[in-house]
């Protein structure tokens, strides 16, 4: 008779048992909740009677962000709504917000009140700008523009400040929970979306990705080239990749100095231009080269 093997349980997620109440609407807050839930937290988004604006202008995005969580509608301007929220906060570990400080004060959720009533509650507030700038109006587009991430009149390809802000909010939740574990007291941490945009803009500030910078077109192995039926994004930056690319293209092992010569980029442009996307896919697999073909 065979002995039964013990059933292996999956390891507990790092935030299993942590209860999070979110008052953060639109994108940064729900995106943070999405990540926190993936880490095992029990998340409860609270929305106004009119619902989260995201539901109205992108139902698909709203559904993806809120998969696996049940949002609760509360009118926080009413006494009844505030009481129901308070009962939730009595049992919560973390409160996530995305209101301006003045709006939180009107709801009785200012820092002093939160500390006095829920001393173990960890609070993460997503705001537009740091300090006094938290009261300024703004949105992802303005934060990206301020950080220098927008060129000309072309709209940015993604909501970078919002998504980076969501990740910083998750980082802040982890930070305040660790501090509470050490001290026994909750804390309040602000996450500014303008700071998130500036964080993403650092490589540009350093000159790495500006036009003509090392990763902005100066390095022949780190560019977008035309191919016979589309484009190819090439990232042969490290010396061993550059050597391999040069040998494959008949240019010999490319040195760091050669990669910065316009003639090298011109030669690679001719070589890529003579090959199809299918051929380049096969070559990338065969020679372990970092490029992706595009239409």
Report DSSP letters for 39-55, one per residue. TT-EEEEEE-TT--HHH
| 230-235 and 291-294 strand pairing | antiparallel
Measured CA to CA, the distance from residue 132 to residue 26 in angstroms comes to 22
Q: Rounded to an integer, what is the distance from CA 195 to the centroid of its chain?
A: 13
Nearest to 88 by CA among 121, 53, 126: 121
Given a contact cutoff of 8 angstroms between Cβ atoms, the answer to whether 8 and 40 are in contact is no
157-186 core/surface letters (b: 16 or more CB in 10 A; e: else): eebbbbbbbbbbbbebbbebbeebeeeeeb
Measured CA to CA, the distance from residue 242 to residue 109 in angstroms comes to 56
Q: Please confirm, yes or no, whether 162 is among the known catalytic residues.
A: yes
Measured CA to CA, the distance from residue 115 to residue 135 in angstroms comes to 21
State which H helix or E strand residue 192 sits in: strand 188-192
Pull the structure tokens for residue 49. 């009677």
Cβ neighbours for 249, distance < 8 A, ≥ 6 positions apart: 267, 268, 271
State which H helix or E strand residue 20 sits in: strand 19-22
Given a contact cutoff of 8 angstroms between Cβ atoms, the answer to whether 134 and 189 are in contact is no
- The catalytically annotated residue of 52, 93, 162, 195 is 162
Q: Which residues are catalytic?
A: 162
């Amino acid at each position: 008779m065979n002995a039964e093997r013990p059933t292996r349980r999956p390891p507990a997620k790092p935030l299993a048992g942590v209860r999070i109440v979110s008052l953060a609407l639109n994108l940064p807050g729900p995106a943070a909740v999405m990540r926190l839930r993936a880490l095992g937290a029990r998340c409860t988004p609270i929305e106004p009677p009119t619902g989260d604006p995201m539901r109205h202008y992108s139902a698909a995005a709203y559904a993806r962000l809120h998969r696996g969580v049940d949002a609760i509608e509360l009118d926080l301007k009413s006494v009844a709504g505030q009481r129901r929220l308070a009962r939730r906060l009595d049992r919560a570990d973390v409160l996530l917000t995305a209101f301006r400080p003045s709006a939180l004060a009107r709801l009785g959720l200012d820092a002093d009140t939160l500390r006095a009533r829920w001393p173990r509650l960890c609070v993460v507030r997503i705001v537009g700008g740091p300090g006094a700038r938290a009261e300024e109006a703004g949105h992802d587009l303005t934060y990206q523009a301020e950080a220098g991430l927008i060129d000309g009149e072309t709209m940015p390809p993604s909501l970078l400040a919002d998504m980076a802000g969501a990740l910083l909010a998750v980082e802040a939740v982890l930070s305040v929970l660790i501090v509470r574990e050490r001290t026994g007291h909750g804390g309040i941490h602000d996450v500014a979306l303008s700071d998130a945009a500036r964080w993403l803009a650092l490589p540009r500030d350093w000159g790495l990705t500006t036009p003509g910078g090392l990763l902005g077109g100066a390095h022949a192995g780190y560019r977008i080239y035309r191919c016979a039926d589309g484009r190819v994004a090439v990232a042969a930056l490290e010396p061993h990749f550059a050597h391999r690319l040069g040998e494959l293209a008949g240019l010999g092992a490319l040195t760091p100095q050669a990669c910065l010569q316009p003639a090298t980029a011109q030669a690679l442009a001719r070589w890529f231009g003579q090959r199809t996307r299918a051929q380049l896919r096969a070559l990338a697999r065969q020679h372990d080269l970092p490029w992706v073909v595009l239409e």
